[in-house]
Structures are given as structure tokens and as C-alpha cells.
């Protein structure tokens, strides 16, 4: 708002010129009633129609002068409004491009949204300058004209108008709120439908069209309700103004005859008062009501939305930038509810690029929970998870989502070509990149069997075995630029040899690899092993843990590496 006002103030000269021409525009409003009254008193009423016509011609000449003034106002409007729009656009677009939460890729949708608001501000400012200014000049001119022509009637006219204006002023805050609610409802509908539109493929893949329909329908209903409320508020406002404008005429008709009979007023003065009321004051009041409900409200709401969308008001989360690719976990404890037993207790751990960690423990002990803490999906209850020195859940999501990839056991594939499925997280990847990734994870025979990158995949990877689907999900992450890869039993449907190949491929890739082990052989391939058994997790090399962790020793004893199919880890 401050910037908006200072931009307008910067064009003070243009605004003053507009006001100057407005004076000329107000001339007919000031003299109109007086000239018509004189035409009656000194012309038609005094038996001299020629003089009456001359007075009316004078009125017509002034009306032409007023029209010229109005023309100049429109001609000058652009010189005030356009520079203001340019300054606002420059300011907000710069802000979005430098927004710390969108450091990697400037958010085009945010730019589009706020430039749209700027357009509304420009139109509304023009509307205010044209209408509110004209209303002010006309009303003041007409009321002064009325006071000088028919002073005895001035209070009859002014009091109802003041009452209507006060009532109208009292209604304004609730009108503004309703108008804003309607704008917000409008935006929510656009957001909901936009989200469904951009995620149409995922909606279809997850057979969630009913939920998507429900989401949009709810927003449309709310929007409709908000619009009806605005319409009611506007009609109430119009009624108040109509009464305020109509009451003076009724009072005039009621009180004027005795004043004329007693000689305090001439007939021409009464007609002049009627002309002032019907030609200037009443239209001005209706215009005020219309302008306020549409133009001023739109201006206020657009400025408010602009301020909310402005990047300096960034949210508390998503501001941090990691300084390197290292993880540090300090005394991390997490439970799924305040009353529940923590599933992760006092976990401390450091991970550097090149590290390969295996996490082992019985089923249901908290391994996936720990993976979620690493990705920043939720913050720990106690302790901290730092990624590049910043709490991982506060890292700019755009950075975090590129840097950390988690592959779960359940595979997400959608209807589309193999290429579309593989480039989901790396749209920039070339066919060579994709083929290389496919080879690295051992999925080349599968790709050949499917018929190459252009081969279609059915709904949710129909026709693929669970292991084949996992291979494609692994290749999809291999091709990304993620520097931290977490495999959460992501190879559970592969045979041990294929699993070993995948883990080795990811271990050779730059960055950190965390494998939540489905089989104990994963522990033998890792540099370090984290054993989770419900207490404080133990961390060490395979050899160290064999000596220090009874659970790890038991798990290894129960494991028979000579068997082709290993025994999966026991349940908790």
C-alpha cells in the first residue's frame, strides 16, 4: 500500500492536472440548478420565454464546457495510471524472481498471479480517479449551488444525505470482508481445479477422480455461496443509498409549497433545488455506491492480495539453504503421537557424500519412520536432523525435493510410455541418460522386452511383475540429480543377485546411500550399519556390531547366505 501510494504521489503533477480539468467538469453541476431556476423566475415564469431560452442555452454551453473537461480527464488518465502500473509490476516481479523460496526456479505461476493483481490495481485506480473524483467535484459543486440558490431548503436535503452516507460508511467494513471472501473463494476454486488439471495423470493413475471431483465441487459451492452473500450486501447498500437520495426530494415536495406561498422561496429556486438533486446529487450518490462496491473494493482486495503474494512475506518454513550435502542427526527422538512410545530414540548419526549406510532391525521397529525423518517429511520431537547445516524440514522444498530421493517398497507407475514414467523426476533426462540408468540398475533386458522407451505401460504398470516395476522405479531415481538416495525396501521383489547389483550401482553413484534392508546381505555391502531394536540405535561396521550387538549377532546367525532365497528379517 505504501509503495502504491508513493508511486501515485510520484505523479502528483499528473493528478493535479486531472483535478484541474475536474473543476471544469464540475461547472455545469454548480451552475445548472441556478440557470434553470433563473430561466423560470426571469424567463418563462415572468412571461419572457425568450429570456428563459437564453438562460437554458447558457446552461447548454456550460454543459459543453463540462464535457470538454471530462474529455481532458480521460486523455490525461494514462499518464498517471500507466507509470504506476509499470512501477508496481517491476517491483513485484523482481521480488518473485529474487524470492529466497524459489531460488532455483523462478515461480512463473506466482509472477502470473501477481501481475494479474497489478492489472486489477491499474484498472481500479483508473476507475477511482475517474469516478470518485467526478463524484466529489459534482456533489460539492451541486451542494454549494443549492445552498446559494435555495438556502432555506439546504438542511432538508443535507441531513438525509449525511445519514445515508454515515450508514453506508458503517456498512463498508463488512462489505469489504464479503467482497474479499468472494475473491478468496474464487482463487480457491482456481487452485483446486488447477491442481487437478496439472495432476490429471496422477489422478487417473490413482483412480482418484471422485475425490478430485469432490474437491472442486466443494470449492465451487463455497464460491457460489460467497457470491450470493456479496449480492445481498450490495443490494442492501444500494437500498440505503436510494433512500438517502430519494428522501430529500420527498421532503422538498412536502415543505416547499408553504415557503413559496410565504415568499421565502421563488418557484425557480424550488426547481433549481430539484435540478441539483436529480441531475447531480442523486446520480453522484448512486455512482458512489457503485464505485465503492466495485472499483474501490476491487482495488483494496487486489492490493491486499498483492501484499499477501509479495515474497517478502515468506513463510517460516522453506527458507533454509543447505550449505553442503551432509546429514547430521543429533539425539533424534520421534513418536507417532505424544502418548505413543517413541519409535526412534536418541539417534545420532553423521552421513557424508560417499557414505553407504544399511539400516537393519525387525519389521515395525521404526526404520521407515527414520527414513521419513531424513527426508524432512516430519520434524523430530526432540533433537535435530540437519541437512547441510539446516534443519531438513525447513529446507526450501524445491531444493530438498531435488536433493533427497526416497524409493519406497510400493512402486508408482502410471499409464504412459516407459520414457514418461522414467522422466517423472528428471524431465530434462535424455534418452542416453535413461538408457544408461536402466543399464546400471540391471533393467536393460526388461526395457528390450517391453520394446524400448516408447513402449506403453498400462495402468499402474499392468503386465509387469512387482520386481520389474521396482526396477523401473529404481532407474527413475538413478537418473535424477538426487545426492541422497534412500531405498526403503525398494528391492524387496528382486532376487538377491539383482538386489546386489542395484545397491552397488547406487553406491557407486555420487552422494549418500541409505538402504533400509530387506535382507541382511545389504548390511554386508554397506560401510556402516545402523541396528534398530526399539532402544537407542547402534551404529558401526558389520564387524564391530557382530561383537557389540546381540540382536545383530542373532540376526546374522539366523541368516544363511548360502541359500538362494534368504529369510526376510523377523517381525518385531
Ligand X SMILES: Nc1ncnc2c1ncn2[C@@H]1O[C@H](COP(=O)(O)OP(=O)(O)OP(=O)(O)O)[C@@H](O)[C@H]1O
- Binding positions for ligand X, rule: CB under 6 A: 336, 343, 361, 363-369
Instruction: Kindly state the smallest distance separating residue 199's Cβ from ligand X, in Å.
Output: 22
- State how far the Cα of 161 lies from the Cα of 155, in Å rounded to an integer: 10
Helix (H) or strand (E) holding 89: helix 49-97
Instruction: Kindly state the smallest distance separating residue 516's Cβ from ligand X, in Å.
Output: 7
Contact 362, 555 (CB under 8 A): no
Contact 99, 311 (CB under 8 A): yes
Nearer to ligand X, 363 or 554 (CB): 363
The backbone torsions φ and ψ at residue 321, rounded to the nearest 5 degrees and listed phi first, read -120, 125
Nearer to ligand X, 363 or 430 (CB): 363
Nearer to ligand X, 181 or 533 (CB): 533
Instruction: Kindly state the smallest distance separating residue 343's Cβ from ligand X, in Å.
Output: 4
Nearer to ligand X, 36 or 344 (CB): 344
Under 8 Å CB-to-CB from 53, ≥6 apart: which residues? Answer: 39, 43
Nearer to ligand X, 249 or 343 (CB): 343
Instruction: Kindly state the smallest distance separating residue 368's Cβ from ligand X, in Å.
Output: 3
Instruction: Kindly state the smallest distance separating residue 369's Cβ from ligand X, in Å.
Output: 3
Under 8 Å CB-to-CB from 515, ≥6 apart: which residues? Answer: 356, 357, 358, 359, 486, 487, 503, 522, 525, 526
- State how far the Cα of 266 lies from the Cα of 260, in Å rounded to an integer: 6
- State how far the Cα of 237 lies from the Cα of 169, in Å rounded to an integer: 10
Contact 79, 72 (CB under 8 A): no
What sections of 208-281 are H helices per DSSP?
Answer: 209-261, 267-275
CA–chain centroid gap for 234, Å, is 27
Nearer to ligand X, 34 or 367 (CB): 367
Give the CA dihedral 15, 19, 20, 26, nearest 10 degrees.
160
Q: What angle do CA 128, 130, 132 make, to 5 degrees?
A: 50
Instruction: Kindly state the smallest distance separating residue 504's Cβ from ligand X, in Å.
Output: 22
Nearer to ligand X, 66 or 537 (CB): 537
Nearer to ligand X, 78 or 568 (CB): 568
Instruction: Kindly state the smallest distance separating residue 544's Cβ from ligand X, in Å.
Output: 22
- State how far the Cα of 427 lies from the Cα of 364, in Å rounded to an integer: 35
Q: What angle do CA 189, 195, 198 make, to 5 degrees?
A: 135
Instruction: Kindly state the smallest distance separating residue 354's Cβ from ligand X, in Å.
Output: 25
Amino acid at each position: 500500500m505504501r509503495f502504491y501510494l508513493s508511486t501515485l504521489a510520484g505523479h502528483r503533477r499528473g493528478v493535479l492536472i486531472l483535478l484541474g480539468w475536474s473543476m471544469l467538469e464540475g461547472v455545469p453541476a454548480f451552475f445548472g440548478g441556478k440557470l434553470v431556476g433563473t430561466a423560470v423566475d426571469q424567463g418563462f415564469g415572468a412571461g419572457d420565454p425568450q429570456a428563459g431560452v437564453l438562460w437554458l442555452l447558457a446552461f447548454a454551453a456550460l454543459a459543453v464546457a463540462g464535457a470538454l473537461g471530462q474529455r481532458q480527464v480521460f486523455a490525461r488518465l494514462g499518464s498517471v495510471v500507466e507509470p504506476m502500473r509499470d512501477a508496481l509490476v517491476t517491483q513485484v516481479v523482481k521480488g518473485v524472481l529474487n524470492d529466497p523460496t524459489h531460488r532455483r526456479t523462478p515461480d512463473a505461476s506466482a509472477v502470473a498471479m501477481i501481475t494479474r493483481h497489478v492489472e486489477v490495481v491499474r484498472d481500479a485506480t483508473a476507475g477511482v480517479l475517474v469516478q470518485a473524483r467526478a463524484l466529489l467535484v459534482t456533489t460539492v459543486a451541486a451542494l454549494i449551488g443549492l445552498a446559494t440558490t435555495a438556502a432555506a431548503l439546504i438542511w432538508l436535503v443535507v441531513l438525509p444525505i449525511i445519514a445515508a452516507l454515515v450508514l453506508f460508511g458503517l456498512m463498508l467494513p463488512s462489505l469489504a470482508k464479503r467482497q474479499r471472501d468472494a475473491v478468496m473463494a474464487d482463487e480457491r476454486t482456481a487452485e483446486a481445479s488447477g491442481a487437478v488439471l496439472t495432476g490429471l495423470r496422477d489422478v487417473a493413475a490413482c483412480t482418484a477422480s471422485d475425490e478430485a471431483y469432490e474437491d472442486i465441487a466443494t470449492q465451487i459451492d463455497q464460491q457460489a455461496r460467497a457470491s450470493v452473500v456479496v449480492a445481498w450486501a450490495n443490494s442492501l447498500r444500494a437500498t440505503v443509498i436510494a433512500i438517502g437520495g430519494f428522501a430529500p426530494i420527498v421532503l422538498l415536495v412536502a415543505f416547499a409549497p408553504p415557503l413559496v406561498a410565504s415568499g421565502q422561496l421563488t418557484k425557480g429556486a424550488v426547481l433549481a433545488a430539484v435540478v441539483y438533486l436529480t441531475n447531480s446529487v442523486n446520480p453522484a450518490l448512486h455512482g458512489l455506491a457503485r464505485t465503492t462496491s466495485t472499483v474501490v473494493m476491487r482495488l483494496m482486495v487486489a492490493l491486499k492480495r498483492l501484499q499477501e503474494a509479495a515474497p517478502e512475506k515468506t513463510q517460516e518454513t522453506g527458507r533454509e539453504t543447505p550449505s553442503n550435502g551432509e546429514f547430521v542427526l543429533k539425539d533424534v527422538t520421534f513418536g507417532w503421537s505424544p502418548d505413543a512410545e517413541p519409535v526412534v530414540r536418541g539417534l545420532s548419526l553423521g552421513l557424508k557424500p560417499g557414505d553407504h549406510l544399511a539400516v537393519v532391525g525387525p519389521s515395525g521397529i521404526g526404520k521407515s519412520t527414520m527414513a521419513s525423518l531424513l527426508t524432512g517429511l516430519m520434524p523430530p520431537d526432540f533433537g535435530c536432523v540437519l541437512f547441510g547445516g539446516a534443519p531438513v524440514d525447513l529446507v526450501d522444498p524445491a531444493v530438498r525435493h531435488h536433493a533427497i530421493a526416497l524409493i519406497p517398497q510400493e512402486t508408482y507407475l502410471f499409464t504412459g510410455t516407459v520414457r514418461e514414467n522414467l522422466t517423472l523426476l528428471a524431465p530434462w533426462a535424455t534418452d542416453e541418460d535413461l538408457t544408461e540408468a536402466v543399464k546400471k540398475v540391471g533393467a536393460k533386458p526388461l526395457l528390450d522386452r517391453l520394446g524400448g522407451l516408447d513402449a506403453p505401460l498400462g495402468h499402474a504398470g499392468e503386465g509387469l511383475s512387482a520386481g520389474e516395476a521396482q526396477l523401473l522405479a529404481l532407474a527413475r531415481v538413478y537418473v535424477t540429480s538426487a545426492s541422497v538416495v534412500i531405498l526403503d525396501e525398494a528391492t524387496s521383489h528382486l532376487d538377491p543377485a539383482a538386489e546386489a547389483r542395484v545397491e552397488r550401482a547406487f553406491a557407486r553413484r555420487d552422494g549418500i546411500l541409505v538402504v533400509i534392508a530387506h535382507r541382511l546381505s545389504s548390511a554386508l555391502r554397506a560401510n556402516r550399519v545402523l541396528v534398530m531394536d526399539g532402544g537407542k540405535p547402534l551404529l558401526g561396521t558389520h564387524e564391530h556390531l557382530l561383537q557389540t550387538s546381540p540382536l545383530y549377532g542373532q540376526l546374522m546367525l539366523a541368516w544363511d547366505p548360502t541359500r538362494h532365497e534368504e529369510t526376510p528379517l523377523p517381525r518385531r
